[in-house]
Amino acid sequence: MARVWGRMARRDIWLIFDGRLWRIRGRDGGDEGQVVSYDFPDEAAARSMADRMMTTSAGAWRDSTQAVWRV
């Protein structure tokens, strides 16, 4: 199996809560990549979309929640 690496192979998905809406933001291809954003009224719907986005994207995913978690 060939490994895919580099900014063009990068896929990022963020789960963001602004106190009112849950937002899923996805980006393909590093900093200059294409960005999509979806808003949801509840966390369950937002997490469901994040799961679908990860399932339909190629490659392995790593959870970096602890690296960016702020209390």
| Better-scored residue on pLDDT, 8 or 32 | 32
Is 67 among the domain residues?
no
Output the average pLDDT for the chain.
79
Is 68 among the domain residues?
no
Q: Is the pLDDT of residue 1 over 60?
A: no
Is 12 among the domain residues?
yes
Rounded Cα gap, residues 3 and 53, in angstroms: 20
Quote the pLDDT of residue 28: 80
Is 28 among the domain residues?
yes
Overall domain count for the chain: 1
| Better-scored residue on pLDDT, 66 or 28 | 28
Q: Is the pLDDT of residue 70 over 60?
A: no
Q: Which domain holds residue 15?
A: 7-58
The answer to whether 49 and 14 have CB atoms below 8 angstroms apart is no
**Lowest model confidence (mean pLDDT) among 35-39, 49-53, 56-60:** 56-60
Is 1 among the domain residues?
no
